[in-house]
Amino acid sequence: QAGREDGNLKLRGGLGYFSNLMVLPGHSGRLQMTKEEVAGVREVRRQLEADLRKVAKSNPEMSSDERILRFLRSYKHDVQRTVERMRDMLDWRWKQGTDHIRALVVKHWHEDFWQMRCLPRRDFFRKMYLIEPNYAVDGQGDLVSVECTGMIDIRSFMHGVTEHEIIRFWCFLMEWNMIKLAQLTRTHGRLARMVQIKDMDGLSLWQSTCKVG
């Protein structure tokens, strides 16, 4: 079970309060990569040089070792597939204007995602969408987020927001996530991941049979 206490989302019951999770002091160091990965990252960057140059000013982290390595590992170190998927991603970001969203997130940055004033319809989403993106950092330096899916009034939520507003909000959330993961990666010297806990207690078929308003 879960709920908000003093404006913060809290898990109760079997999952407890995650007393074993903490932000570690960590260390600043190089990103851990194998020789194969170093060569792969270099080759992906070479092939995407023109594409990455377009976003060099608005989003310099896009050409970082960390961002390229995430794609390279996702596609099992297949350089050509990585290049294709990254090019698709860059094209999508260009069309959606997500670098502008990233700039807003950077300008209004806060460790508590919900405190950022740039979030579209912040009060509505915070009330209706029960998620804490920065719930904790585990012992490996991975970001732990909690979503209390079973407690979300999905019908009221979907009737109070448009599909465009949902997509836009998620762009803000994903930009915040990637910036936070980049911070953790630099701190711990390893590719930080996101672990999401979904609390399904209370979820019913009634909640899932609705349409976007």
* Span 141-159, pLDDT tens digits: 999 999 999 999 888 998 9
Residue 186's nearest CA partner among 39, 67, 18 is: 67
For residues 115-138, give the mean pLDDT. 96
> Which residue spans within 16-164 are E strands per DSSP?
131-137, 143-147
The answer to whether the beta carbons of residues 126 and 160 sit under 8 Å apart is: no
The answer to whether the beta carbons of residues 200 and 150 sit under 8 Å apart is: yes
- pLDDT per residue over 162-208, tens digit each? 999 999 999 999 999 999 999 999 999 899 999 999 999 988 877 66
Decide if pLDDT at 11 tops 80. Answer: no
DSSP codes joined into one string, 141-208: S-EEEEE-GGG--HHHHHHTS-HHHHHHHHHHHHHHHHHHHHHHHHHHTS---EEEEE--TT--HHHH
16 versus 199: the higher-pLDDT residue is 199
pTM: 0.81
Residue 78 structure tokens: 């297949």
Q: How far apart are the first and last CA of the chain?
A: 28
- pLDDT per residue over 78-123, tens digit each? 999 999 999 999 999 988 889 999 999 999 999 999 999 999 999 9
Burial of 146 (C-beta count, 10 Å sphere; 0-12/13-18/19+): buried
Decide if pLDDT at 62 tops 60. Answer: yes
Query: In the prediction, which pLDDT does 31 show?
Result: 85
- The 8-class DSSP code of residue 30 comes to P
The answer to whether the beta carbons of residues 185 and 192 sit under 8 Å apart is: yes
pLDDT band at residue 209 under the 50/70/90 scheme? low
